[in-house]
Structure 1
Amino acid sequence: MDIRQLRTFVTVARFASMTKAAEALHITQPAVSGQLRSLEEELEVRLLSRTTSSVTLTQSGQELLGKAEKAIEAFGEFVHAARSFRGQIEGRLRIGVVMLDPGALRIGPLLREMVTQHPGLKIDLQVGRTSWLHDALRSAEIDGAILVCKSCPPGTQMMVLDEMTFRLVVPASWGNRFDGTSLKQLETLPWIRMAQRSGHQEMMDEILQAAAIKPIETVEADHELLMRTLVAAGVGVGLIREEMALQARAAGELVFFGDHKATTQLAFAYPEGRGGDPAIRATLSTLEKIWRLGSR
Structure 2
Amino acid sequence: MEIYQLRTFVTVAQQGHLTQAAELLHLSQPAVTAQIKALEEEVGLPLFERTAGGVTLTLAGQSLLPRAQSILDSARQLVDHARGLKGQPAGVARIGIALSPDILRIGTWAARLCQRFPLLDLRLSQGVTIDVLNKVRKHELEAGFFLGKNPYANVNSVLLCSLPFVVAMPCAWRDRLDSGQLRELGKLPWIGLSQFSSFNRLTSELWRELNISPRKVAECDHLDALQELVTSGLGLALLREDVALTLASAGRLCIVPGIRKLFDLQFVYPADRESDPIMRLLLDTLVEVWQLAEPEVLGS
Shift of 1:203: 2.8
Written as runs of structure 1 = structure 2, the 5 A alignment for 1:69-148 is 87-98=87-98, 100-148=99-147
For 2:226 and 2:113, locate their aligned partners in 1 and report how far apart those are by CA, in whole Å. Answer: 31
Taking a change above 3 Å as real, the CA distance of residues 275 and 86 of structure 1, as seen in their structure-2 partners, is: farther
User: What is the TM-score when the length of structure 2 is the normalising length?
Assistant: 0.66
For 2:168 and 2:183, locate their aligned partners in 1 and report how far apart those are by CA, in whole Å. Answer: 15
Q: How many residues align?
A: 211
Indicate the residue corresponding to 1:260 in structure 2: 259
SS at match of 1:245: helix
Indicate the residue corresponding to 1:222 in structure 2: 221
Is the 8 Å Cα contact of residues 149 and 198 (structure 1) preserved in structure 2? Answer: no
Is the 8 Å Cα contact of residues 188 and 215 (structure 2) preserved in structure 1? Answer: yes
Shift of 1:279: 1.4
Shift of 1:163: 0.8
For 1:139 and 1:90, locate their aligned partners in 2 and report how far apart those are by CA, in whole Å. Answer: 22
For 1:278, give the aligned amino acid: P
Taking a change above 3 Å as real, the CA distance of residues 86 and 186 of structure 1, as seen in their structure-2 partners, is: same
Indicate the residue corresponding to 2:278 in structure 1: 279
Shift of 1:185: 1.8
For 1:253 and 1:278, locate their aligned partners in 2 and report how far apart those are by CA, in whole Å. Answer: 48
Taking a change above 3 Å as real, the CA distance of residues 269 and 218 of structure 1, as seen in their structure-2 partners, is: same
Indicate the residue corresponding to 1:243 in structure 2: 242
For 2:159 and 2:152, locate their aligned partners in 1 and report how far apart those are by CA, in whole Å. Answer: 13
Is the 8 Å Cα contact of residues 203 and 263 (structure 1) preserved in structure 2? Answer: no
For 1:268 and 1:115, locate their aligned partners in 2 and report how far apart those are by CA, in whole Å. Answer: 19
For 1:154 and 1:188, locate their aligned partners in 2 and report how far apart those are by CA, in whole Å. Answer: 38
Taking a change above 3 Å as real, the CA distance of residues 256 and 211 of structure 1, as seen in their structure-2 partners, is: same
Written as runs of structure 1 = structure 2, the 5 A alignment for 1:1-296 is 87-98=87-98, 100-153=99-152, 155-196=154-195, 198-294=197-293
Is the 8 Å Cα contact of residues 93 and 124 (structure 1) preserved in structure 2? Answer: yes
SS at match of 2:175: helix
- Identical aligned pairs, as a percentage? 31
Taking a change above 3 Å as real, the CA distance of residues 204 and 184 of structure 1, as seen in their structure-2 partners, is: same
Shift of 1:286: 1.0
For 1:146, give the aligned amino acid: F
For 2:177 and 2:170, locate their aligned partners in 1 and report how far apart those are by CA, in whole Å. Answer: 12
Instruction: Show CA shifts across 1:170-220 (max 9, x none).
Output: 011211323332232222321122343654334323321122111112233
For 2:292 and 2:260, locate their aligned partners in 1 and report how far apart those are by CA, in whole Å. Answer: 25
SS at match of 2:139: coil
| Runs of 4+ residues deviating >4 angstroms | none
Structure 1 window deviating more from structure 2 (158-167 vs 198-207): it is 198-207
For 1:87 and 1:218, locate their aligned partners in 2 and report how far apart those are by CA, in whole Å. Answer: 56
Shift of 1:119: 0.8
SS at match of 1:146: strand
Shift of 1:105: 1.1
Is the 8 Å Cα contact of residues 152 and 269 (structure 1) preserved in structure 2? Answer: no
Taking a change above 3 Å as real, the CA distance of residues 130 and 154 of structure 1, as seen in their structure-2 partners, is: farther
Shift of 1:86: 5.1
Structure 1 window deviating more from structure 2 (130-139 vs 89-98): it is 130-139
SS at match of 2:135: helix
Shift of 1:117: 1.0
Is the 8 Å Cα contact of residues 128 and 198 (structure 2) preserved in structure 1? Answer: no
Is the 8 Å Cα contact of residues 143 and 270 (structure 2) preserved in structure 1? Answer: yes
Structure 2: any 5+ residue segments left out of the alignment? 1-84, 296-300
Shift of 1:227: 1.3
Is the 8 Å Cα contact of residues 149 and 199 (structure 1) preserved in structure 2? Answer: yes
CA root-mean-square deviation:
2.0
